[in-house]
Every structure is written in structure tokens, then in C-alpha cells.
């Protein structure tokens, strides 16, 4: 088929970022995302961009702060331990309302952990990560093509709300190759000229009023107002940018909830369950922050049981419980340390829930 090329997830996110206007990359190597800086080091100079391998993750994220403060489309990428090191800078970026793109190809933790795929940075990505009252916009792609599609729009979203955007992948998504196609006309040489953002600090030549990029507000009343402004921006993003996908949920009695690589395994489990006569469906958050609480809550009302599946010992399941709000029992199946859940295990648990979920319903209605 014309136009399709095999890309690793890491290379795809890098190419998509460039096509979205990224001209600055600052990073420090770590497995399993090294193909991103490798690709950027070769490709960015071809489009007039700048690649810097910084002396540390802390330096890299502060270079992102500098470039973003000047209104450039800038990116950094890392994996779990490296993202932890970047959290101070991410908090400052959020505080200063600087749009940028951060990619985390998650590996097993805590500590140095391992290099195999994990989803154990969900709390860090969606609940703050750094200090202070802020949220990021966090996308959780489930395929290499979706990695491209979400990255292509990431800067527009980040700039619309002046909130840093994170792509939350994992080792499998970074290393996997799948066919992708880039939209016609998205080649970097066709990139439109972007006007200078009205907050960018590029020198007040020509007599315009000076602009200040800062996250310091020493008067409590001012910081209060500033944080309300940040929250209002996030609420706007929540209303307009929350995204999710549903697979065979129309008549589902057991609802699987999963994101990223785990959602792919769940999709396989849904097919097997349907073949076995169990009406299973999948709810897949695409934005994990803002989380699709409303849509999941509505869907949960029709099902006998919800099963959250994660490559962690239970992080997103907290958001699922908030969304479901008691409308159905919420069960959890998790793997940790770099182990990917098996479809067979998910099938077994979901099939049991289809039976017990029914029993549970009967109990609640006083039938049994």
C-alpha cells in the first residue's frame, strides 16, 4: 500500500514532532527511548533545527524551559528515572505556562528498576509529578500510528491551553514497528510560518512592552489567582480535549478498562471473550489527563462489572473507581516490573466476573 512505512514508535514520535513544528530537542540517553534522540540528532539539522545532548536530564528540561520561553516548539524525551529527574523543570514549565512536548517511554520502577515496558508512572504523569497545583495534558497512544496522530496535534493543544503535553508510552510502544502513514503535505518543508506567540521572550526591540516568563508569585493572593488561572485552563482542556475509544461496549456486560500497550492485549481478550460467548467490551482512555470520567461513568451504568488492567499494581484503577462511582464493582488485574499481562489471564478473570458480577447484582437486589 502506498504511503505506508514501517516505523519504530520512538522514530515515529520523533518524525511526527518535527512535522508538528518541533525544531529544538534537548535530552539525555536512557533505554528504551534512545531511538528518539538518535533520530532527532540526524533529522533536526536537516530541517534547520537544533539537537543538544545535554549533560543531564535536569539540564535538558531547563533547556526546554529556555526554548519554550522564547516561543519555540521544543521537545524532550526520556524514560521513567530520567522523567523523575525532569520533574522540577516540568513543574516550572507548568507554573510559567510554557507549552512543550515531553515523551515518557515508561520502564519498570521504582528506582533504577528495569528496562522492560511498564505503566507504573501513571500517578506521576497524571497527578502532578512535580510540586505544586498543576496538571499536564497526557496522551496515552496504543499504536505507532496513534503515536504519530497525537504528536502531530500536541503543540497546537499545548499552546491553546499553555499547558505542557506529555506522551505517555512504554517500552513496547517505543520499540515496536508498525506501518504508519503521515498526512499528505505534512513534510517539514511545507510547515507554515508561525507567528510569534504574544508571551514569547525574544527581546523587546521596537519598543513593545517587556514580557516576563516566570513561575514566582510571592504574594499568596497573586499565586492564588495564578493557580486558579492554571486550573481554569485545564478545565477548558478537559471540556474540549478529553478523548477515549470504546470497542464493542454497546451491549457489554463486562467492561475492560486499559490504556496503551495493555489496551492492545485487552482488545485481543475482548475478541476471545466474545468468541466464548461473554459480552465483553473495552473502554480505552486516550487522554489519561484529563481522564474521561464522564464517559466511563455513563458506560459503567450498563455493565455487571468493570475490570481495570494495567502494567502496574493499581494506579489508573483509582480514576476508574472515581468514574464508576459505585455503579458497578471495579476489579483490578495488574502486572508489574516489566511483565506484560497475558490475554489468557484477562479472559479468565473477565469470564469469572461475567458470572460473579451477575451474582453480585442479584445479591444487591436481594434476589439470592
Partner 1 sequence: MVEELIIAGFGGQGVMVMGQILSYAGMHEGKNVSWIPSYGPEMRGGTANCSVVVSDEPIASPIVTEPTTAIVMNRPSLDRFEPMVQPGGLLIYNSSLIDRAPERTDIRVIAVPANELGEEVGSDKVANMVVLGAYIKARGTVSFETVGQCLAEVLPARRHDLIPLNLEALKRGAELVK
Binding site for partner 1 (CB under 8 A): 1, 4, 6, 31-32, 115-116, 171-172, 175-179, 261, 264-265, 267-268, 270-271, 340, 342-344
- Rounded least distance, CB 269 to partner 1, Å: 8
**265 vs 305 by CB, closer to partner 1:** 265
Crossing angle for the helix pair 144-161 and 9-19, to the nearest 10 degrees: 40
The C-alpha atoms of residue 127 and residue 154 are separated, in whole angstroms, by 19
The C-alpha atoms of residue 51 and residue 25 are separated, in whole angstroms, by 5
- Rounded least distance, CB 304 to partner 1, Å: 23
- Rounded least distance, CB 110 to partner 1, Å: 20
**175 vs 233 by CB, closer to partner 1:** 175
Is residue 110 reached through a cis peptide bond, with omega within 30 degrees of 0 on the bond before it?
A: yes
Is residue 74 reached through a cis peptide bond, with omega within 30 degrees of 0 on the bond before it?
A: no
**14 vs 173 by CB, closer to partner 1:** 173
**91 vs 312 by CB, closer to partner 1:** 312
Closest CA to 305 of 367, 246, 252, 364: 252
**136 vs 144 by CB, closer to partner 1:** 144
State the cell numbers at 13: 514520535
**17 vs 270 by CB, closer to partner 1:** 270
**71 vs 260 by CB, closer to partner 1:** 260
244: helix, coil or strand? strand
**268 vs 336 by CB, closer to partner 1:** 268
State the cell numbers at 299: 458506560
- Rounded least distance, CB 27 to partner 1, Å: 18
The C-alpha atoms of residue 304 and residue 330 are separated, in whole angstroms, by 10
The C-alpha atoms of residue 10 and residue 246 are separated, in whole angstroms, by 26
CA dihedral 114, 65, 68, 11 (to 10 degrees): -20
- Rounded least distance, CB 147 to partner 1, Å: 13
**182: DSSP letter:** P
Containing 241, the helix (H) or strand (E) segment is: helix 220-241
Closest CA to 25 of 9, 3, 45: 45
Half-sphere exposure of 173 (CA within 13 A, CB side): 31
State the cell numbers at 18: 518535527
Amino acid at each position: 500500500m502506498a504511503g505506508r512505512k514501517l516505523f519504530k514508535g520512538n522514530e515515529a514520535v520523533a518524525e511526527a514532532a518535527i512535522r508538528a513544528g518541533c525544531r529544538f530537542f534537548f535530552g539525555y540517553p536512557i533505554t528504551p527511548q534512545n531511538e528518539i534522540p538518535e533520530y532527532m540528532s540526524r533529522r533536526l539539522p536537516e530541517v534547520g533545527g537544533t539537537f543538544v545532548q545535554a549533560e543531564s536530564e535536569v539540564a535538558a528540561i531547563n533547556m526546554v524551559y529556555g526554548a519554550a520561553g522564547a516561543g519555540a516548539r521544543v521537545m524532550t524525551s526520556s524514560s521513567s528515572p530520567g522523567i523523575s529527574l525532569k520533574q522540577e523543570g516540568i513543574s516550572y514549565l507548568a507554573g510559567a505556562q510554557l507549552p512543550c512536548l515531553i515523551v515518557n517511554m515508561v520502564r519498570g520502577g521504582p528506582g533504577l528498576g528495569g528496562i522492560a515496558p511498564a505503566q507504573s508512572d501513571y500517578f506521576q504523569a497524571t497527578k502532578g509529578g512535580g510540586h505544586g497545583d498543576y496538571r499536564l495534558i497526557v496522551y496515552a497512544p496504543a499504536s505507532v500510528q496513534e503515536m504519530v496522530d497525537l504528536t502531530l496535534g500536541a503543540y497546537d493543544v499545548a499552546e491553546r491551553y499553555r499547558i505542557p503535553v506529555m506522551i505517555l508510552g512504554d517500552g513496547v510502544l517505543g520499540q515496536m514497528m508498525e506501518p504508519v502513514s503521515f498526512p499528505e503535505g505534512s513534510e517539514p518543508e511545507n510547515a507554515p510560518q508561525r507567528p510569534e506567540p504574544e508571551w514569547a521572550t525574544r527581546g523587546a526591540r521596537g519598543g513593545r512592552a517587556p514580557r516576563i516568563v516566570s513561575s514566582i508569585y510571592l504574594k499568596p493572593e497573586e499565586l492564588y489567582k495564578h493557580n486558579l488561572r492554571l486550573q481554569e485552563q485545564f478545565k477548558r482542556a478537559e471540556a474540549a480535549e478529553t478523548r477515549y475509544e470504546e470497542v464493542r461496549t454497546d451491549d457489554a456486560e463486562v467492561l475492560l478498562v486499559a490504556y496503551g500497550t495493555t489496551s492492545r492485549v485487552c482488545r485481543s481478550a475482548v475478541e476471545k471473550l466474545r468468541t466464548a460467548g461473554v459480552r465483553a467490551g473495552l473502554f480505552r482512555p486516550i487522554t489519561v489527563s484529563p481522564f474521561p470520567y464522564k464517559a466511563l461513568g455513563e458506560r459503567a451504568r450498563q455493565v455487571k462489572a468493570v475490570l481495570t488492567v494495567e502494567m502496574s499494581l493499581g494506579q489508573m484503577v483509582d480514576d476508574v473507581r472515581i468514574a464508576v462511582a459505585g455503579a458497578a464493582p471495579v476489579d483490578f488485574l495488574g502486572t508489574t516490573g516489566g511483565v506484560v499481562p497475558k490475554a489468557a489471564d484477562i479472559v479468565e478473570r473477565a469470564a469469572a466476573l461475567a458470572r460473579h458480577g451477575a451474582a453480585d447484582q442479584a445479591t444487591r437486589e436481594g434476589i439470592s
